[in-house]
A and B are shown apart, each in its own frame.
Chain A
Amino acid sequence: MELDLGPEIAQFRADIRAWITTHAPDGLAELADWNTLITTGGYGYGRRTAATQHEAYRQWEAELLAARLICPQWPEQFGGQGMDAVRVAVFNEELDSAGVPRVNRGMGESLVGPSVIVHGTDEQRAAFLPRIVSGEDVYCQGFSEPGTGSDLAGLQTKGVVDGDEIVITGQKLWTSGAARANKMFVLCRTDPDAEKHAGISFVLIDFTDPAVSYQPVRQMSGAAEFCEDFLDGVRAPLFNVIGGLNNGWRVAMTTLGYERGGSASTLHLGYEREFWELAQTARKRGVSADPLVRQQLAWAYSQVQLMRFSGLRTLAGLAEGRQPGPEASISKLFWSEYHKRLGEIAIGIEGTDGLIRPDGDGYPTTYWQNVFLSSRAGTIYSGTSEIQRNIIAERALKLPREPRPTANGASR
């Protein structure tokens, strides 16, 4: 059943569908399975990345750019068209059903842009935003450090003001997309004497600077999608500090909280396609009549459909003008825990086939071996399941916060 979002949205859907049909270059949809699930570890990633080098993709990117359909949710004066979450969701749905990609600007679009829009000066907006939309600047994230996982505010990377520059020294970790990035947004400590959350600044740096180096971190899946980065006295103009010195925590929290629900109704699509692949694997293995396997498959199907139902409900709420509450945390907890369990089910269905990897250098894996291994990261990155549960319990259920430990280790 398709959600009835009213005549205006129906018209928008018809218009955007027609636009996509007219403007999508021939052969684009066939270049890659643009909208299948990409797991951590990058299964299927290579083919998609290669496809983005193709002429048809570049042409599509140019068409979208001209129509302001890159970062379309940004306000008009910053290069977007102020698309609301419902329209973004419909746009995503239509791209998916046409089999063509949404050209997004990664963390520049989802995290840096909103930060600069909310906390930047007019000059900063003019300097940084157009280059994100055009694709000239590709950002990676410099938040986590070896010593700071969930407790992000404990970060140690130093930022020292030197004249009209800031000099940044420290180590960052879990950077995805480092190889493609030319910029990094960094959290660093600019006032070591201030209270933990108070002395942090949010800075945009040149990631191609010689004082930056990075190396891949190999994951248990064998893939190396994340990097650790060494910032050895990287200089950036003070102009690149967003929201003012020592105000970075607030800027970062705005960034992380900037979730508008635009992916609500498309999140399940990749999992749904993956589910049918697993059903097919079960048939091929001759276990689809096994009562236990049938229970597991029905469970998995239900979980995917629950994602769909919840997404539609979120979308219906957005269409009625309600702001999303804890849906983002619930959704993250749901899909990451689901996928972990699915990986266990899938490798069980592979049975003895799951014991053997494909031949090849390094650690090549089958798709299901990769899901089994890489899904363990999903409940850890972007806020662990435990952090999500804290957020859900404290914000949605208003349960009391954990008492903060005092300096001498006792709680108060």
Chain B
Amino acid sequence: MILGVSAEQEELRASVRRFLADRAPIPVVRELMDTTDGFDPAVWRQAGDQLGLQGIAIPEEYGGSGFSFAEQAIVLEELGAALYGGPYLASAVLAAGALLASGDEAARKAYLPGIASGETIATVAFTEEDGSWEPDAVRLAAAELDAGDGWRLDGRKSFVLDGHTANLVLVVARTGAHLALFAVDAGAPGLTRTPLPTLDQTRKLARLDFESVPAVLIGTPEDGAAVLSRVLDVAAIAQGAEQLGGAQRALDMAVEYAKVRYQFGRPIGSFQAIKHRCADLLLEVESLRSAVQYAAAAVAEDSAEVPVVASLVKAYASDVYFHVAGENIQIHGGIGFTWEHDAHLYFKRAKASELFLGDASYHRERLATRIGI
């Protein structure tokens, strides 16, 4: 296992940070969060054309650049720090991960090059109205038509990340006792997509209604649960990397403000009430950074530790980001709870990313199970 950040990785981080500061700074994030789609397609294309971000962890044979998840985690960290609103997590992590985890070579060849270039925006629809992240909870039914006529899907998916802007939806559906993964074209007949008003306006979710929607089976009719399980573990770590980026940025904001804000004739950062909070937050953010680096290396090496560290990271990242984002508001005082200040954007993203893919308690329970307790 290689830990630590190489010079090349630092370079990658710097170029992603520059790109986002230039093309997707916070004022732009604020403009786009008021739109339904939540992102600028031109910037999304540039991220693919100029930096190859969408395909960074996709193997070269499928049109990606074949770096490891360690590099993708750095990209995710920067996207999280910038509150980028585009469908990166949905397309480059969830959907690309589902295709790679499926054993379906034809589907990989068909869809991954488009995802890698950014031309295809894909997502995975698995959660339903009960909001459960457990594969067992999937009810949406897949029925096979007569020989060779493919499959039809009926039911409802909810909380689908970027479900209304994706042009390819990978749907987890029930094939009797088992689950399977299906590809659905966004323009398929019988598919109704409804964008949902989100707590975190920088992260878009949709409800998808399926009424006899034609779908293409990916893999076998039985392997959906295994694919989903792998995808959700990697996604939890990816989300953790985003949370790390957001937490670090929120901490930087708080510390910066504590140095320049004077009360009682002193910078507020000289008061132990403030500096001790900041020290605790640094401890948490640094510990999270260690965990994310370890977890990213585990994914890159396809280690057997992935399920354990995925739940560990998602639980800890959820606690840490929300803690930092909350304290950031408190340390900013009055300006901290205004709409004008950016602190609330991080606060909302922190809560949204905590609740998405299962909150801290959910993942601690899974962690307990996974370590044999």
Given A317-B4, A389-B275, decide whether A309 and B365 contact each other with a Cβ distance below 8 A: no
Contact string against A for B residues 238-261, beta-carbon threshold 8 Å, 1 for contact and 0 otherwise: 000000000000000001001100
Tell yes or no: A50 within 8 A of B by CB: no
Contact string against A for B residues 209-223, beta-carbon threshold 8 Å, 1 for contact and 0 otherwise: 000000000000000
Interchain CA distance A288-B316 in the complex, whole Å: 21
Q: In the bound complex, do residue A399 and residue B255 qualify as a contact, i.e. CB atoms below 8 Å apart?
A: yes
Contact string against B for A residues 305-339, beta-carbon threshold 8 Å, 1 for contact and 0 otherwise: 11001101100110110000010001001100000
Please give me the residue from chain B that is nearest to A294 by CB atom.
Answer: B368
Across the interface, A401 reaches (CB within 8 A) one of B270, B289, B315, namely B270
Across the interface, B291 reaches (CB within 8 A) one of A282, A309, A394, A398, namely A309
Q: In the bound complex, do residue B373 and residue A297 qualify as a contact, i.e. CB atoms below 8 Å apart?
A: yes
Please give me the residue from chain A that is nearest to B287 by CB atom.
Answer: A306
**A18 cross-chain contacts in B, Cβ below 8 A:** none
Q: In the bound complex, do residue A1 and residue B373 qualify as a contact, i.e. CB atoms below 8 Å apart?
A: no
Tell yes or no: A215 within 8 A of B by CB: no
Please give me the residue from chain A that is nearest to B298 by CB atom.
Answer: A1
Taking the closest CB of chain A, its distance from the CB of B57, in whole angstroms, is 18
Please give me the residue from chain B that is nearest to A402 by CB atom.
Answer: B270
Across the interface, B272 reaches (CB within 8 A) one of A316, A317, A390, A396, namely A390
Given A301-B371, A306-B316, A401-B270, decide whether A389 and B4 contact each other with a Cβ distance below 8 A: no
Q: Which of B121-144 contact A (CB under 8 A)?
A: none
Taking the closest CB of chain A, its distance from the CB of B295, in whole angstroms, is 8
Given A301-B367, A305-B312, A397-B255, decide whether A312 and B373 contact each other with a Cβ distance below 8 A: no
Tell yes or no: A403 within 8 A of B by CB: yes
Given A309-B290, A390-B275, decide whether A298 and B315 contact each other with a Cβ distance below 8 A: yes
Tell yes or no: B145 within 8 A of A by CB: no
Q: Which of B1-56 contact A (CB under 8 A)?
A: 1-4
The main secondary structure of chain A at its interface with chain B is helix
Q: In the bound complex, do residue B275 and residue A302 qualify as a contact, i.e. CB atoms below 8 Å apart?
A: no
Q: In the bound complex, do residue A302 and residue B367 qualify as a contact, i.e. CB atoms below 8 Å apart?
A: yes
Q: In the bound complex, do residue A3 and residue B269 qualify as a contact, i.e. CB atoms below 8 Å apart?
A: no
Given A295-B364, A397-B282, decide whether A386 and B373 contact each other with a Cβ distance below 8 A: no
Please give me the residue from chain B that is nearest to A392 by CB atom.
Answer: B279
Q: In the bound complex, do residue A3 and residue B283 qualify as a contact, i.e. CB atoms below 8 Å apart?
A: no
**A334 cross-chain contacts in B, Cβ below 8 A:** 283, 287
Q: Which of B262-288 contact A (CB under 8 A)?
A: 266-267, 269-272, 274-276, 278-280, 282-283, 286-287
Q: In the bound complex, do residue B297 and residue A393 qualify as a contact, i.e. CB atoms below 8 Å apart?
A: no
Contact string against A for B residues 335-369, beta-carbon threshold 8 Å, 1 for contact and 0 otherwise: 00000000000000000000000000100110110
Interchain CA distance A302-B367 in the complex, whole Å: 9
Contact string against A for B residues 291-317, beta-carbon threshold 8 Å, 1 for contact and 0 otherwise: 101100110010101000100100110
Please give me the residue from chain B that is nearest to A302 by CB atom.
Answer: B312
Interchain CA distance A282-B361 in the complex, whole Å: 19
Interchain CA distance A369-B357 in the complex, whole Å: 38
**A2 cross-chain contacts in B, Cβ below 8 A:** 1
**A291 cross-chain contacts in B, Cβ below 8 A:** 365
Q: In the bound complex, do residue B297 and residue A400 qualify as a contact, i.e. CB atoms below 8 Å apart?
A: no
Please give me the residue from chain B that is nearest to A329 by CB atom.
Answer: B279
Q: In the bound complex, do residue B272 and residue A3 qualify as a contact, i.e. CB atoms below 8 Å apart?
A: no
**B298 cross-chain contacts in A, Cβ below 8 A:** 1
Interchain CA distance A402-B276 in the complex, whole Å: 12
Q: In the bound complex, do residue A400 and residue B361 qualify as a contact, i.e. CB atoms below 8 Å apart?
A: no
Taking the closest CB of chain A, its distance from the CB of B306, in whole angstroms, is 10
Interchain CA distance A295-B365 in the complex, whole Å: 6
Q: In the bound complex, do residue A312 and residue B3 qualify as a contact, i.e. CB atoms below 8 Å apart?
A: yes
Given A1-B298, A390-B272, decide whether A302 and B316 contact each other with a Cβ distance below 8 A: yes
Interchain CA distance A58-B287 in the complex, whole Å: 40
Interchain CA distance A294-B316 in the complex, whole Å: 15
Most chain B Cβ neighbours within 10 Å, of A4, A302, A320: A302
Taking the closest CB of chain B, its distance from the CB of A398, in whole angstroms, is 8
Please give me the residue from chain B that is nearest to A391 by CB atom.
Answer: B279
Q: List 22 A-B contacts (CB under 8 A).
A: A3-B1, A279-B373, A288-B373, A295-B361, A298-B368, A306-B287, A309-B293, A312-B290, A312-B294, A313-B4, A313-B294, A316-B3, A330-B283, A389-B280, A390-B272, A392-B283, A399-B255, A399-B270, A400-B270, A402-B271, A403-B266, A403-B270
